[in-house]
A and B are shown apart, each in its own frame.
Chain A
Amino acid sequence: MKPKTLFAGALALLFFAFAVATLIQTATPKDPEGPPPVAHAEALVRMHSPAFGHPNAKVTIVEFIDPACGTCATFYPAVKRMLADEPQNLRLVLRYAPFHPGVDQVIALIEAARRQGQMWPALEALLETQERWTPNHRPNVEEARRVLAGIGLDMERLRADAADPAIAALIAQDAADARLLGVDKTPEFFVNGRPLPSFGLKQLATLVGEELARR
């Protein structure tokens, strides 16, 4: 066999094997019921968890979010649009996943803003300016505080509230629940207790659509 033919044949064979293996690995078995609900469902929503949308909504999306996580910031507008499209049927419950070291102090600021009725504006302002206060994945609380000063919060009160041990306990509870539920990356979504079959906005929309179509 000519060397060039040998090489081209081997190259084609290797890529073919890679493509077949990828297809086998990514092929999801067709399951009309979708993924089963997660174990420890009681840990999904706590009394203290901030919620957005209709309280008796048919479908509840639980999102574990790390305010310093880039993908969380990218996903947030899309999730919000999903809620805006189904205001009567969708509810978002937010859980914190303080995975970036030091981000718990920024979460404390968000929870302190909640006591001034400004939790969602605070979260959105921080997600929008994430690159400013999280250079190189290191949350900078001072910079985050400067961002929040721009949305008209009582900064003296914010500083005092953020130091409240009750807020630290809330964050610790969320972190413990994340561990219990096997959440190890963010954002992680549960739709009526069911985890995403695989990560992606499309998968989230599909799962939400399935749950909306139920009953």
Chain B
Amino acid sequence: MTVSSSAPPSPAWLLLFAAWIVAATATLSALFLGEVVGLPICPMCWYQRIVMFPLAVILPFGLFPDLDVRVIRQGLVLAAIGLLLALYHQGIVVGLIPEAIGPCRQGIPCAETVIRWFGFVTIPVLSIVAFATLVALLAAAHFRSHR
């Protein structure tokens, strides 16, 4: 199924577009907190960045020149990996998973909370929300495009 770029966008295209908005917002936010505000970046955050940043770059390739359903699948895999990493990270924060000695050097433990908005919004929580939204949007785009 292809959609000419002059025609009004299809539902699948709009879902993929929404996913890109989420990925781009998350990418810029992570860069803002790390590079502008100067928050320390723990290893778990880097692992999640590894899958979030490419989403912001590759998803538009599925939008232009026409909807490319293969990109939806690729994005879904990255987002699913990110969601697992974010859940694991939150597990460390709440103490469900003991922090391994290996990954957290340079005095930046992954369990440390550097931001807490409204009492419960932490960076790992934001990450879970972003990746879960991405999985939902991309899965919806996948099924829409395969009907």
Enumerate A2-19 residues with CB–CB distance to B below 8 Å: 2-4, 6-7, 10-11, 14-15, 17-18
The distance from the CB of B133 to the nearest CB of chain A, in whole angstroms, is: 16
Is A26 at the interface (CB under 8 A from chain B)? yes
Instruction: Decide if A136 is an interface residue (CB 8 Å cutoff).
Output: no
Give B129 Cβ to nearest chain A Cβ, in Å.
Answer: 18
Measured between beta carbons, the chain B residues less than 8 angstroms from A6 are 9, 17
A17 partner residues in chain B, CB cutoff 8 A:
28
> Is A163 part of the contact surface with B, judged by Cβ < 8 Å?
no
| CB-defined contacts of B28 to chain A, threshold 8 Å | 14-15, 17-18
Q: Is the CB of B17 within 8 A of A7?
A: yes
Interface presence of B24 (CB below 8 A): yes
Whether A28 sits at the interface, judged by CB under 8 Å, is no
For the complex, is A21 an interface residue (Cβ under 8 Å from B)? Answer: yes
Residues of B in contact, count (CB < 8 Å): 18
Query: A4: which of B25, B37, B64 is its contact (CB, 8 Å)?
Result: B64
Contacts of B60 in A (CB 8 A): 7
Q: Are A14 and B24 in contact (CB under 8 A)?
A: yes
Q: Which residues of B contact A14 (CB under 8 A)?
A: 21, 24-25, 28
- Report if A25 contacts B (CB, 8 A): yes
In the complex, whether B32 has a CB less than 8 A from a CB of chain A is yes
- Interface majority SS on A: helix, strand, loop or mixed? helix
Is there contact, CB below 8 Å, between B21 and A10? Answer: yes
Q: Contact between A11 and B37 (Cβ–Cβ < 8 Å)?
A: no
Report the Cα distance A20→B144, complex, angstroms.
Answer: 36
Given contacts A7-B17, A7-B60, A7-B64, contact A2 B5 (CB under 8 A): yes
- Give min CB distance, A13 to chain B, whole Å: 9
The answer for the CA separation of A110 and B87 in the assembled complex, in Å, is: 48
Which of B1-45 touch A at CB < 8 Å?
A: 5-6, 9, 13, 17, 20-21, 24-25, 28, 31-32, 36-37
Chain B residues within an 8 Å CB radius of A11:
24
Enumerate chain B residues within 8 angstroms of A25, measured Cβ to Cβ: 32, 36-37
Instruction: Kindly state whether residue A56 has any CB partner on chain B within 8 Å.
Output: no
B92 in the interface (beta carbon within 8 A): no
Residues of A within 8 A of B32 (CB): 18, 21-22, 25
**Bound-complex Cα distance A3 to B36 (A):** 32
Interface residues of A in 159-174 (CB under 8 A from B): none
The residue from B31, B63, B107 contacting A3, defined by CB atoms under 8 A apart? B63
A19 and B20 alpha carbons, distance in the complex (Å): 19
A17 to B28, CA, bound (A): 9
Contact present for B37 and A3 (CB under 8 Å) = no
Shortest C-beta distance, A57 to chain B (Å), equals 32
Among residues of A, the one whose C-beta sits closest to the C-beta of B31 is: A18
Q: Given A7-B63, A14-B28, A18-B28, answer yes or no on A26-B5 (Cβ-Cβ < 8 Å).
A: no
Kindly list chain A residues whose C-beta atoms are within 8 Å of the C-beta of B107: 184
Chain B residues at the A interface, C-beta cutoff of 8 Å: 5-6, 9, 13, 17, 20-21, 24-25, 28, 31-32, 36-37, 60, 63-64, 107
5 nearest A-B pairs in the assembled complex, by CB-CB distance: A18-B28, A3-B9, A22-B36, A25-B36, A14-B24
